[in-house]
Amino acid sequence: MEVAAPGLHHLTAVTADPRANVQFYTRVLGLRLVKRTVNFDDPSAYHLYYGDTAGTPGTLLTFFHWPGAARGRVGTGQVAGIQLSTAGGSLDFWADRLRAVGCPVETGQRFGEPLVRTADPDGIAVEILACREDPRPGWSGADIPAPHQLRGMAGAELRVRDPGRTLRVLRELLGWREERVEAGRRRLVAGPGQPGHWLDLVGDEAAEPGRPGTGTVHHLALRSADAGVSERLRARLLASGDAPSALIDRTYFRSVYFREPGGILLEIATDGPGFLVDETPETLGAGLMLPPAFEPARAAIVAALPPLAP
């Protein structure tokens, strides 16, 4: 297939407490805060981006701050949580590090590979998977020894009541291919099939539908090479009866949104222009970046945001 969305771009979740969020993702997990900005629809709330050194697609976790919002419920029609990749042999390091700061730790296995499961301050499930083949470097600016650094998203778990129609969209419209099945879990891969190019589709007819709110994943973005590919994928979705948005300028990428048949909000995001459009590699994430329309109100916006420093 010549036009496809061959990998994960970012995952966006919802936090009630941006300060605890920054502490956990930068100080505990050792990711780089690559952009601090505000919700473009509501500048009284943060939008925070974490990733590797440059904020490479596939390493990005982003969080909407919804002040005062109710806690959501994880269920069908949602992405279940966050999956991050580390090297084989690093799980003991992560289990010890998480326990040392009071985070819950469980161990498990998936498709024969071990994992450690914890929860972030909002209760979002965070899994660290020992991945054999992941050439991506981590971010070396935190206190994580190089062999143990987190290298980006491993995959994402899509939970739906009826996986059949979701599977059709992923395979026929977006170019993913089914690779393995284990205990009701289908692993789809795209592109090179390495970590950052996995989706696990889990069907559960009996499960409750998810409810949006803090502590849940809001949407998952898949990669597109450029705006031309996004437009062609959009046309394909339209032709098959889906209802994608227009191509929207998100400053750091261009996005098309649509709700797949299982109810999950998906995005197709371009690899470029990336996070260096308004900051240098050295200062990435250091300042509050505002869209031009909000700049005249910067002082008032900053004064209303909760401080992120400890």
Q: Which residues bind Zn ion (CB under 5 A)?
A: 12, 221, 267
Closest CB to Zn ion among residues 12, 149: 12
Closest CB to Zn ion among residues 47, 117: 47
What is the sign of the dihedral through the CA atoms of 120, 125, 126 and 130?
Answer: positive
The one-letter code for the residue type at 76 is T
Closest CB to Zn ion among residues 185, 250: 250
Closest CB to Zn ion among residues 127, 267: 267
- Is residue 80 within 8 A of residue 126, CB to CB? The reply is no
Closest CB to Zn ion among residues 32, 223: 223
- Is residue 302 within 8 A of residue 293, CB to CB? The reply is no
d(CA 104, CA 120): 9
**CA angle 235–240–245, rounded 5-degree value:** 50
Q: What's the longest Cα–Cα distance across the chain?
A: 55
Of 39, 33, 28, 27, nearest to 51 by C-alpha is 33
Residue tagged 């590797």 (tokens): 52
- The first and second tokens of residue 168, run together, are 């059709």
Q: How far is the CB of 102 from Zn ion (least distance, A)?
A: 30
Query: Strand order of the sheet with strand 217-224?
Result: 248-249, 253-259, 265-273, 217-224, 8-15, 60-65, 42-51, 32-39, 288-289
Closest CB to Zn ion among residues 9, 97: 9
Q: How far is the CB of 39 from Zn ion (least distance, A)?
A: 12
Q: How far is the CB of 266 from Zn ion (least distance, A)?
A: 9
Closest CB to Zn ion among residues 12, 194: 12
Helix (H) or strand (E) holding 198: strand 198-203
Q: How far is the CB of 115 from Zn ion (least distance, A)?
A: 25
d(CA 23, CA 163): 36
Q: How far is the CB of 124 from Zn ion (least distance, A)?
A: 16
Cα distances from 197 to residues 179, 215, 222, in angstroms, run: 12, 24, 9
Closest CB to Zn ion among residues 86, 224: 224
